[in-house]
A and B are shown apart, each in its own frame.
Chain A
Amino acid sequence: MSHIKIELRKEDVDFIKGVCATFNNDPQELINVLHTCQEHFGYLPAEIQEVVSDGLNMPVAKIYGVVTFYSFFTMTPKGKHPISICLGTACYVRGAEKVLDEFKKELGIQVGESTKDNKFSLSSLRCVGACGLAPVVLVGDKTYGRVAPDDVRNILKEYE
């Protein structure tokens, strides 16, 4: 799997090592460490996972396993306005997939990718607990309910 190659600066490495130390370099705290790192860097590229592996003294394969298991974690940088489309059961049966397809078409990207200008990124998730509003779309912190494919262009316009 190809991934974005980055080189960390010394202060980045120190930050990650510091996070690990905050959690006593305990491998059991991996998820907390990853949360904090993702909050800081916005995503978790391989290089960050390698430093975490060093800091918590655990195999990087295990860390990658956790990062790929939880959809919250991402290895690609999110856009300035991250778009999440709920594909939970309620949203799905009310046409969320068509909404998702419309976003893909409008932005020219797939799920898990960002636009070239890094303005938008696209992800899907499973249920935000607002099934009454299905289908639901999140852009950053803002929630849009009862979204139809025709609404997609207008939603994106708000962020131009």
Chain B
Amino acid sequence: METIKLTIDNKEIDVPRGTTIYKAAKELGIDIPTLCYMELHDMNIENKPAGCRICVAEVSGRRNLAPTCSTKCEPGMVVKTHTPRVLNARRTVMEFILSDHPKDCLVCSKSGTCELQAMAHRLGIRDIPGAAYAAVSTYRKDTSPSIIRDLDKCIMCRRCEMMCNEVQTVGAISAVNRGFMATVAPAFEQNLEHSTCTYCGQCVSVCPTGALTEVNHVPQVLRALVDPTKTVIVQTAPAVRAALGEEFGLAPGTLVTGKMTAALRALGFDYVFDTDFAADLTIMEEGAELLDRLAKHLKGDKTAKIPILTSCCPGWVNFFEEYFPDLKDVPSTAKSPQQMFGAIAKTYFADKIGVNRKDMVVVSIMPCLAKKYECQRDEFSVDGNPDVDFSISTRELASFIKQANIDIKTLHDEDFDSPMGESTGAGVIFGTTGGVIEAACRTAYELYTGKKLERLDFTELRGMEGVRSATIDFDGLPVNIGIAHGLGNARKLLDDVRAGKSQFHAIEVMACPGGCIGGGGQPLHHGNSDIIKARATAIYAEDRKKSLRKSHENPFIIKLYDEFLGKPGSEKAHHLLHTHYFDKKKKIMIKK
């Protein structure tokens, strides 16, 4: 590849043609500050609108300062990133941005993790000229079931817009208006709730400021915990244990399963259970459905919908209901683990401990913001009583633990309660891209062939590529598996399904890049994809540690079927563990 030699801050470097000054500087260990630029390395995600102008530098032969994030290196270029002129310009730009930003840092929900605040600190800003008399542009606040938009705090970095449009291809939000009224909003500046938003929360996870945050349900959970008439049950999603530690200063990828369990018990939950249990249950139902459809398909039954699509991810469900309603009978009808857990907790388990479902509160800890919306769906409640009452994110849990004076690092590891805390390694890997389908393969293979798997690690299904495929040999039957993470990647596979061109028998989709470990409710990655990869490594490590790694071998799942459900796909299982989907495509109104 052709390389270019240039000098940055008196250091020479060779870079491939096309490299930006910003990236070349990074290779030299020069960390040019920026507010809008963001790259998730290896995930094909990059935001460089050259909008914030914080990353400017002096470039030889150019009259104006250049935005380094979008200026390409040229041979012999001499770049200076910290001359008085650059520092002065950077400070002035920052002061302008701050002059139109609310000054309520003390009580802002992003305080402490805000990139704008950190930048003001880094650049040593001590005064905002004009702050005393200049008005700050204001917008209407918008609250949806999952996400709060407070656009007074928007700095137009447009990362959310890039995530929503380019990565997720949802297109719910776009830059609108001009000048001081410029902001990022849904069409016609309507509420997010009325847009095509899937609540995947990727906009929240990249927002540098407090403009986009999650709806906080901690106060409701606290109220339930202190109510003596309520039995409060908590379930924790697999991806949470691989990320929660980051909020307490632990290295990314540190598993805190035991400490998290101890912290939840210390918070006062009556039963600390695991969504992984429900993930095992999902595999039983989804696996049975896959084998049933596959058997019919192989017999030539044209009514059997192949490929089967996973349905654990609520952002993904919202996406196909909006964009592919014509395919709504293709995904598995199995509910997500969160909802299966709620349905079993408020029937089987409630009966077991003799508690009325109205006196039971089920709380889920999720890496996800779409889960907040999912648990509020009408079809997931009985007589107005939801199967899952509140869903709080990994970030909210961390904040809750801190408020309760619990020092998670000093806690001793504790186990989940029985029976709904017992899970296999297959349940754990639900938290990362490829994990659901790997878990399904472990069970489906053994149920289909009647043979024992020699190798449990389907490494061909793992990785961070946006679209992956592999063929798994089911003892002579080649099963074609597709995997997509990120909704834009899912769209590619769905377009093929719609066109009848798909060669896959089963497709796993997770809405967030990396899967749930990269979810919208996770500790903020601030553009560092290594953090997401470290979480994936942790998830697979947890799987390897488990003595049982196949869902159908979970003795508590076997017992649940024996005592209560009958067998996978039974009428009772269908009633409690399966759902249906809706056509939510926005219709154009035509006058008759």
Chain A residues in the interface with B (C-beta under 8 A): 1, 3, 7-10, 13, 46-47, 49-51, 54, 58-65, 68-69, 71
Contacts and interface: CB of A to CB of B under 8 A. Distances in A.
Given A1-B188, A1-B190, A61-B172, 13 more contacts: A3-B188, A7-B591, A47-B589, A50-B588, A59-B165, A59-B187, A60-B171, A60-B187, A64-B187, A64-B188, A64-B189, A65-B174, A69-B176
B566 to A, nearest CB: 46
Given A1-B190, A59-B172, A54 B196 contact: no
Nearest to A16: B588
Nearest to B169: A59
Contacts of A68: 176-178
A68 B186 CA distance: 12
A105 to B, nearest CB: 24
Contacts of A1: 188-190
A7 B187 contact: no
Nearest to A13: B590
Contacts of A49: 187-188
Contacts of A58: 171
A50 B195 CA distance: 12
B588 A47 contact: yes
B185 interface: yes
A56 to B, nearest CB: 12
B591 A61 contact: no
A144 B190 CA distance: 39
A62 B172 CA distance: 9
Contacts of B187: 46, 49, 59-61, 63-64
A111 to B, nearest CB: 13
Contacts, number: 66
Given A59-B165, A59-B196, A65 B190 contact: no
Contacts of B190: 1
A8 B590 contact: yes
Contacts of B63: none
Contacts of B451: none
Nearest to B186: A61
Q: Secondary structure at chain A's binding surface: helix, strand, loop or mixed? A: helix
25 contacts: A1-B188, A1-B190, A7-B589, A8-B588, A8-B590, A10-B590, A46-B187, A50-B588, A59-B165, A59-B172, A59-B174, A59-B187, A59-B196, A60-B171, A60-B187, A61-B172, A61-B173, A61-B174, A61-B187, A61-B195, A64-B176, A64-B187, A68-B177, A69-B175, A69-B178
Q: Lowest 9 A-B CB distances belong to which pairs?
A: A59-B171, A61-B174, A65-B174, A7-B591, A60-B187, A1-B189, A61-B187, A64-B187, A62-B174
Interface in B554-592: 586, 588-591
A88 to B, nearest CB: 15
Given A1-B188, A3-B188, A59-B196, A65 B175 contact: yes
Nearest to B177: A68
Contacts of B586: 50
A49 B189 CA distance: 13
Given A7-B591, A47-B589, A69-B178, A62 B188 contact: no
A58 B420 CA distance: 45
A68 B183 CA distance: 11
B182 to A, nearest CB: 8
Nearest to A45: B188
B588 A64 contact: no
A13 B588 contact: yes
Contacts of A63: 187
A80 B539 CA distance: 66
Given A7-B591, A68-B176, A46 B188 contact: yes
B165 A8 contact: no
B178 A9 contact: no
Nearest to A10: B590
B186 A7 contact: no
Contacts of B171: 58-62
Residue of A10, A46, A68, A71 with most chain B CB atoms under a 10 A cut-off? A68
A65 to B, nearest CB: 4
B185 A61 contact: yes
A112 to B, nearest CB: 12
A113 B321 CA distance: 38
A72 to B, nearest CB: 12
A72 B198 CA distance: 32
B267 to A, nearest CB: 40
Nearest to B586: A50
Contacts of A13: 588, 590
Contacts of A60: 171, 187
Contacts of B188: 1, 3, 46, 49, 64
Contacts of A65: 174-176
B178 to A, nearest CB: 6
A64 B173 CA distance: 10
A49 B588 CA distance: 10
Nearest to B196: A59
Contacts of B590: 7-10, 13
Nearest to B185: A61
Residue of B172, B174, B195, B196 with most chain A CB atoms under a 10 A cut-off? B174
A63 B174 CA distance: 9
Contacts of B186: 61
Nearest to B175: A65
Contacts of A61: 171-174, 176, 185-187, 195
Interface in B155-182: 165, 170-178
A51 to B, nearest CB: 6
A28 to B, nearest CB: 15
A51 B591 CA distance: 13
A104 B490 CA distance: 52
B589 A8 contact: yes
A62 B174 CA distance: 5
A68 B184 CA distance: 12
A60 B176 CA distance: 11
A54 B588 CA distance: 9
